[in-house]
Structure 1
Amino acid sequence: METLEVHSKDFLVKWVHAPDNCIIDWYVKPVKKSINFAIYRKSADSSESKENSESPVPRSGSGVSREEHTNGSGTADSVSSVNVAASKSHKTRSRSMSRSSSFSDNLEQSDLQLVKHYNKLIAGELVHGKYEVERGGTFAFIFDNSFSKTTMKKVLFSSKILFANPGSNEVYRRKMFASKKTSIHDLRSNGGGRTRQTPKYNGAEDDDDDTLHSVLLKKRRKVLQGYVKRYFLLNFKYGTLSYFRVNDNKLRGSMPVRHSIISANPKSREIIIDSGMEVWSLKALNNTDFQNWIDAFNKVKRSQCDFDQEHYDDDADISDAVHDLEGVAKELNTLKFKNDSPSDELLQKVSGISDDVEHALDKLRSAISSHNVNEAKSTYSNNDFHDAKEFNDTLSAGVVLLDRSGGKGSSLEDSDISDYGDDNEIISTNSSESDLGDFQDSRKKPVKAQSTTKSSHAQLYPLPHDPVKRDYDIPVSVSQPPSLLGFLRKNVGKDLSNIAMPVEMNEPLSFLQKYSEMFEYCDLIDNALQISSSDDCGEKILRIAAFAVSSLSCLRMKERNARKPFNPLLGETYELVREDFGIRYVSEKVCHKPAVFAIFAESKEWTFSFSPSPSQKFWGKNAEISIKGVCTLTIRDTGEVFTWTQPTTLLKNIIAGEKYSEPSAPITVKSSFGGGAVVEFDKSGMFSGRSEGLTIKAYDSNKNILPYSITGKWTESLTLKTDSTEKLIWTVGELLPNSSQKYGFTKFAGTLNKITPLEKDQIPPTDSRLRPDIRYYEQGNVESAEKTKLELEEAQRQRRKELEMKKEQYKPLFFTHVGGDTPDSGEWVYVNGDKSYWNRRKNNDWNDLPKLW
């Protein structure tokens, strides 16, 4: 995928040329910041409209407006003179089109027709779409960053054309942009960098992928900022002119030369290119460069490279050759992959021949799909004045060369040229701070403008906070979990609830820490809230449902199914502050029997509460794990509330065999505004092993299925499917190196026991990070961990007996019970006010906490 850079308050157009009866297969991935995206089609009669219009009006964009394109005396140059000659009214209209013109204004005045608007694409998500083209044409993939005032956006993009293979149902791909042999890096190595001035012609005359490339001067977008050196690449096959910063491979802009109006002035070596959507003003560094570029543009303008479907029928010899080569390719693939024991030498030779055949096939297919490019010569008209109508009649024939009568434009001054800088604005050291956000962790979200609603009053001490360096690695486990069957045999007839499990059956985290793993994927919530409030396709609630299911992914590794977290002591707490995610989380064990944990997490945009009470039942060789409690997600701005319960899961093969977990019940997410989503897990067969697939469907308030859905695996990734695209909205977190010997932890889980500068001397003495038996166990001191664990559990029993003798019950400090007759019913609500957890933390007020160890 190539990297595109889109200026703030601007847009970038990526042009794709598609023949008849094909499919445009495209991928887009915004990097770290969201961007708006849409696909437009250039009108079929656009060339006619250009030729018949009285005068083409340059558009604002990454170039100059008509008002900017004047000489020193204030007289319009030859391009403006030509355009205005037939109709004075255009002068007023063009002057009104300054750089402040909105993106929508540019679209309205262009000859582009909307194909599909995808609205905002979420940062970090890979979006895949396919568009079926019946009638060929030129398509504009537009990346709109006009809503951002200061931040440049980076986007990864690729597109391919899919064709039906002659005589088969298969398709093959034709890659858009340059071929491998004419990549940007290759062109640079051939002399296309900063020091090269003469345009480099890459490829043979009859090569469909030949290119022309060199440095040209490009006028900045703002008035009086002069010109800047940029690296330009013209692809003859697709007629597309692209530009980059010198010695950089990030695309800054693209122009469809074949469908653009091109004017040029030999005296000033100036070239004006107007696509109807934007205007570029360029200057060649010398006369030789100027003539080479004019010749190249004329070649593109006069060539016929569009795909001709009938060519398949007319050229029987090529079609037969393709058919024969495909047969050879299939036989070679059979030798490569179905031979029982091929030697390395034979396999290498067969692979080489197979690659050669595939390359030949590509060349033949390319020959079928396009006509040869004929060389064209440029025509100069140095001193002729063209009337507007005569001027437009010549546009389709090639570049129109005009003369400038006087003015400063005939020479280049040093002050007009810059080797560095952005086309948008002069670089200032004061802007570096705002640009740092582009290079932070991909899950860090930009701070949104505070609204006038209650979200503007949300204080999240100790956030905001400077970035914290976190160590995620942990020591290798020195023990293996004991056989549960052996343990049960040793305790036949005994009450298992009163028997302490061996410490080797644990992982070095408490349940409070494990529940915090839910928020490894809290960006799913943030991304859901970026969906338009008028969403009627179900995308928002589908993303919330994806968050609901993402917490199951911590069970994907078999090592995590063979152990369990440490059971927290009554009154034990755990906090998690992630400045990179913009969240804070606090939890407390509020009841011992039954075990109940209270959780409260929040960000600037939402709050989350959950009071899980897990229980386990044995069924022969399997165990059923169910969790009481309702997950409640509240959106601050709108007051919308989403609720769901965690699914029942089955832990299989607990006696013998490889242990694994799988969900055995669906998840239903409901919205207080109406509607919901249902997560359905695939059912596993008797011998099929773990079931990992799932489908999420959204419903409106009348229980009608909405058009969007999600498919994927809770162990790998989830994809949002719309009517025309697929968005990869979630992937599992990265595992620790050598994870199988480190309890199957992800990198996120590996950080949960660390004490960073955010926690040092700040967290209460009841925090799980300070629990000594967990610390011993993580460090590999199993004997001390076992001994300390027994001591802590015995001390807890003594505290409970003392309360019973006083006829008192333990009262949690940071949560209060609301509703329900038993501790595992109703809801445990986070305590606000002066005695809240975060206010106590700010004041280091931990004096009345129980001494747990």
Structure 2
Amino acid sequence: MGVRVSSDSTGGVFSPSTSHILDTSRILVLCDTYKGWVFKWTNYIKGYQRRWFVLSNGLLSYYRTQAEMGHTCRGTINLATATITVDDACNFVISNGGAQTYHLKASCEVERQKWITALELAKAKAARMQAESDDSGDDFSPSSPSAAPGKGAGSQNLEFQSAMRTLGSKVEDLSTCNDLISKHGSALQRSLSELDSLSLTGEAGDKIRQVTERATLFRITSNAMINACKDFLTLAQTHSKRWQKALQAEREQRVRLEETLEQLAKQHIHLERALREAAQTNACADSKSVSGPGKGEVSDEDDDNEFFDAMEEAPEFITVPADPQFHKRSSSNVSGFNSEIYQDDQSLNEEPMATNQESPSQELVPLKKRRTRIPDKPNYSLNLWSIMKNCIGKELSKIPMPVNFNEPISMLQRLSEDLEYHELLDKAAKSHNSLEQMCYVAAFCVSAYSTTVYRTGKPFNPLLGETYELDRRRESGYRSLCEQVSHHPPAAAHHAISDRGWTLRQEITVASKFRGKYLSIMPLGTIHAIFEKGNNHYTWKKVTTTVHNIIVGKLWIDQSGEIDVVNHTTGDRCHLKFAPYSYFSRDVARKVTGVVMDKTGKAHYVLSGTWDEKMEFSRVMQSSRGGENGTEGKQKTVYQTLKAKELWRRNPLPEGAETMYYFTALALTLNEPEEGVAPTDSRLRPDQRLMEDGRWDEANAEKQRLEEKQRIARREREREALNQRSSSTSEEGAPHDNYQARWFDHTEDKITGESVHVYKGGYWEAKDQGKWEDCPDIF
């Protein structure tokens, strides 16, 4: 099995970053929380498993996924009494007196050091808070064996509680006095008013006496309030000394932490320099002996401790850092190196150019403010197995599913989510050569799957003739249209065009099978991307999506398979491989790798990353065939590459996404009501709207009504077709359905030869004129 060695974050040679260590410590000091993915040893069968760890308030907890943080904690260990030991470059152990022991493994040495730093700081703080019982008695109880009578922690706790009760009673006294002052003050005011209205007669003396009595009562009450305030002030001054002492201790601790961090930073600077020099030396030595598969790879000394089984499939290639000579501008030492392409490659590393400027008239009109929330998902319980146990082997589209397992968007809207990262196509449209453009197109292929990582809900199956428009021309320069052009098999046609020089079109037919334990979804159809600049025409297909744990456990999604992105204009090709999840694989989960080649088969870029997080690219300087690696006698290509650069990164989910079906910022706006859309638009679908509003019982009833209406319309079309062509029947023996799409023409694709639906135009013109007479009544 080959080991990928590169200078990126997914490879094997790493340079510790002092700034990362300082950021980790600074985050822990400010918010007392640190989170991240760490591999945890489970057993000899499953080995190390990726878990989400959270360090907070001196406690280290872990979960299987981030989604479990709200409801299921798999384990917690108190760092105040725990010991932290380091096994080797990536492994470390946390033990709490033998009762709990976590054997953990970070993805790299830098990540391990960040965790060790965070754990040590949290442990020191937890131990200090436990020891400083004289400043805070919260960690002790009167019955604690360590609390000595009179002066122990329990006594101090009682003293603190007594002081708080006394302060509380004084506050109540102040409140009572305030009420009395208000009452007597009002009476005094009334008496004075009466006195002013009377003449000096025999009654004057009586009134004056009343005023005097009320003034006396007011004075007595005021004195009582003043005395209570004095007592309150005395108590506050007494306890302020203790509070000042606690504050001073916190300040001293902060100074000590700053000094520790400064020393730590100096140590890591020295380590970084030493490791960089060693890495450069090893890289030079490895580049001279790269023919053997075991040379130039990272040391794997902890294999005996990891208990990993062999991978199901070995990597197709190995990448190693290129010789430092390739980082220079000169290309005289590289055989067959294209200096022109290398210079063009600089634009791929730079920041993206400014987007196309809009016309002055567009700038004057404010952009529409899109919504950022939808109603929270209700907590309805329903047994999926009770519904699907009789549906094994059937097409997913033919299984009657309640909305309880849906998400409140249709498949057409889900298809429009492929444009979440449309800026990758914008950058591709500005590229100077096809190889650079191919990198962006390949990253766009991968980015389409990032929205599915937590989305286990099923989108609504569109009704025949249902449409969905996504008009983002003013915000992002593009607009797209989807239409359900076939019901059995279900097929949707999609067409998107951008003012920034690209067009995207696809027709996706979903073939799905339920296998009991998992559900396989196989998208059929080809995606086309056409760019005005250079007239480059790209095509690719989608990989298989698998939904696991249908019967028992938490649902999770995996993407697996291979994609060939082909430029039919130049012959360039990019081969992408989505690695399936395996319990025994040491690679990071959801891994994607790829190689960009020209029409002669020469590699120019190596792509790597994950489909749920990011993709990076590395410029290939040299390549050579490796020796036999023991995997069926196959040889793997060894690529020498420059330092990896980030090509794409997933946008963070909106706040509270776990209660909103894990929708992205774009997905939250897809079902937002909008004026002027076609009457067949998914936004107007009543059962989908009811589900979004949380009225699931009404949504289920409405869903049955719409499906029955669709069946009646189909039977009517079949009767009409039967009258016209009585001899023509479908494969299933049913009469032929002569349905024709409204906005797409059925034709043969000139590139692939497939029978597809291509946008024939007219939709946006009909929207401008508000003419929807030809649209079917489907809702």
User: What TM-score do the two structures reach when normalised by structure 2?
Assistant: 0.51
The alpha carbon displacement at 1:612 in A equals 0.2
| 2:661 corresponds to 1:743 | yes
Which residue identity lines up with residue 767 of structure 1 in the other structure? D
Which residue identity lines up with residue 490 of structure 2 in the other structure? A
Which residue identity lines up with residue 663 of structure 1 in the other structure? Q
How do 1:565-604 and structure 2 match up within 5 A? 565-578=459-472, 579-604=474-499
The alpha carbon displacement at 1:467 in A equals 1.7
Alpha-carbon displacement from aligned partner over 1:375-400 (angstroms, at most 9, x marks no partner) = xxxxxxxxxxxxxxxxxxxxxxxxxx
Could you say what secondary structure the match of 2:565 adopts? Answer: strand
Between 1:352-361 and 1:712-721, the stretch displaced more is: 352-361
| 2:541 corresponds to 1:676 | no
8 Å CA contact 1:443, 1:523 repeated in 2? no
Aligned partners of 1:463 and 1:850: how far apart in 2? 37
Aligned to 2:60: none
Could you say what secondary structure the match of 1:812 adopts? Answer: coil
Q: Specify whether residues 350 and 444 from structure 1 end up closer, same or farther in structure 2 by C-alpha distance, changes over 3 A only.
A: same
Which residue identity lines up with residue 696 of structure 1 in the other structure? G
Higher helix share: 2
Q: Specify whether residues 601 and 491 from structure 1 end up closer, same or farther in structure 2 by C-alpha distance, changes over 3 A only.
A: closer
Q: Alignment partner for residue 373 of structure 2, among 473, 498, 503?
A: 473
8 Å CA contact 1:776, 1:782 repeated in 2? yes
Could you say what secondary structure the match of 2:519 adopts? Answer: strand
Aligned partners of 2:453 and 2:417: how far apart in 1? 13
| 2:417 corresponds to 1:503 | no
| 2:527 corresponds to 1:527 | no
| 2:612 corresponds to 1:694 | no
| 2:735 corresponds to 1:806 | no
Aligned partners of 2:575 and 2:597: how far apart in 1? 8
Q: Alignment partner for residue 681 of structure 2, among 745, 761, 767?
A: 767
Alpha-carbon displacement from aligned partner over 1:712-738 (angstroms, at most 9, x marks no partner) = 221112223345554333222332322
The alpha carbon displacement at 1:620 in A equals 3.4
The alpha carbon displacement at 1:530 in A equals 2.5
Q: Alignment partner for residue 612 of structure 2, among 685, 693, 715?
A: 715
Aligned to 1:655: 551
Could you say what secondary structure the match of 1:646 adopts? Answer: coil
| 2:292 corresponds to 1:359 | no
8 Å CA contact 1:650, 1:661 repeated in 2? yes
8 Å CA contact 1:573, 1:768 repeated in 2? yes
The alpha carbon displacement at 1:661 in A equals 1.4
Aligned partners of 1:787 and 1:591: how far apart in 2? 24
Q: Specify whether residues 812 and 526 from structure 1 end up closer, same or farther in structure 2 by C-alpha distance, changes over 3 A only.
A: same
Which residue identity lines up with residue 427 of structure 2 in the other structure? N
8 Å CA contact 1:818, 1:829 repeated in 2? yes
Unpaired runs of at least 5, structure 1: 1-25, 27-126, 129-161, 163-168, 181-328, 370-441, 451-460
8 Å CA contact 2:561, 2:579 repeated in 1? no
Aligned to 1:607: 503
Aligned partners of 1:805 and 1:171: how far apart in 2? 72
Which residue identity lines up with residue 658 of structure 2 in the other structure? S
Could you say what secondary structure the match of 1:674 adopts? Answer: coil
Percent identical residues:
30
The alpha carbon displacement at 1:586 in A equals 0.3
The alpha carbon displacement at 1:711 in A equals 2.1
Aligned partners of 1:585 and 1:506: how far apart in 2? 24
Root-mean-square deviation (Å): 4.2
8 Å CA contact 1:471, 1:751 repeated in 2? yes
Which residue identity lines up with residue 359 of structure 1 in the other structure? E
Could you say what secondary structure the match of 1:612 adopts? Answer: strand
Q: Alignment partner for residue 818 of structure 1, among 721, 740, 747?
A: 747
Could you say what secondary structure the match of 2:739 adopts? Answer: coil
Aligned partners of 1:331 and 1:597: how far apart in 2? 51
Larger Rg, first or second structure (1 or 2): 2
Q: Specify whether residues 491 and 464 from structure 1 end up closer, same or farther in structure 2 by C-alpha distance, changes over 3 A only.
A: farther
| 2:550 corresponds to 1:550 | no
Could you say what secondary structure the match of 1:580 adopts? Answer: helix
Could you say what secondary structure the match of 2:702 adopts? Answer: helix
The alpha carbon displacement at 1:545 in A equals 0.5
Aligned partners of 1:444 and 1:768: how far apart in 2? 35
Unpaired runs of at least 5, structure 2: 1-6, 27-113, 133-249, 273-350, 620-640, 722-736
Between 1:721-730 and 1:613-622, the stretch displaced more is: 721-730
8 Å CA contact 2:392, 2:516 repeated in 1? no
The alpha carbon displacement at 1:444 in A equals 11
Aligned partners of 1:698 and 1:691: how far apart in 2? 22
Q: Specify whether residues 670 and 771 from structure 1 end up closer, same or farther in structure 2 by C-alpha distance, changes over 3 A only.
A: same
8 Å CA contact 2:563, 2:575 repeated in 1? yes
Q: Alignment partner for residue 827 of structure 1, among 756, 760, 777?
A: 756
8 Å CA contact 2:465, 2:485 repeated in 1? yes
Which residue identity lines up with residue 717 of structure 1 in the other structure? K
Aligned partners of 1:174 and 1:795: how far apart in 2? 60
Could you say what secondary structure the match of 2:483 adopts? Answer: strand
Aligned to 1:616: 512
Aligned partners of 1:475 and 1:443: how far apart in 2? 36
Alpha-carbon displacement from aligned partner over 1:63-113 (angstroms, at most 9, x marks no partner) = xxxxxxxxxxxxxxxxxxxxxxxxxxxxxxxxxxxxxxxxxxxxxxxxxxx
| 2:732 corresponds to 1:838 | no
Q: Specify whether residues 645 and 335 from structure 1 end up closer, same or farther in structure 2 by C-alpha distance, changes over 3 A only.
A: closer
Aligned partners of 2:607 and 2:394: how far apart in 1? 47
Aligned partners of 1:837 and 1:632: how far apart in 2? 20
The alpha carbon displacement at 1:804 in A equals 0.5
Aligned partners of 2:268 and 2:395: how far apart in 1? 75
8 Å CA contact 1:571, 1:812 repeated in 2? yes
Aligned partners of 1:695 and 1:573: how far apart in 2? 35
Q: Specify whether residues 342 and 646 from structure 1 end up closer, same or farther in structure 2 by C-alpha distance, changes over 3 A only.
A: same
8 Å CA contact 1:733, 1:748 repeated in 2? no
The alpha carbon displacement at 1:745 in A equals 0.6
8 Å CA contact 1:467, 1:580 repeated in 2? yes
Could you say what secondary structure the match of 1:638 adopts? Answer: helix
Aligned to 1:777: 691
Which residue identity lines up with residue 565 of structure 1 in the other structure? P
Tell me how many residue pairs correspond in the alignment. 438
The alpha carbon displacement at 1:337 in A equals 6.9
Q: Alignment partner for residue 342 of structure 1, among 108, 127, 146?
A: 127
Could you say what secondary structure the match of 1:729 adopts? Answer: strand
Aligned partners of 1:174 and 1:507: how far apart in 2? 38
Aligned partners of 1:542 and 1:470: how far apart in 2? 31
8 Å CA contact 1:444, 1:582 repeated in 2? no
Aligned partners of 1:812 and 1:615: how far apart in 2? 21
The alpha carbon displacement at 1:681 in A equals 2.2
Aligned to 2:561: 665
Aligned partners of 1:587 and 1:667: how far apart in 2? 23
8 Å CA contact 2:396, 2:512 repeated in 1? no
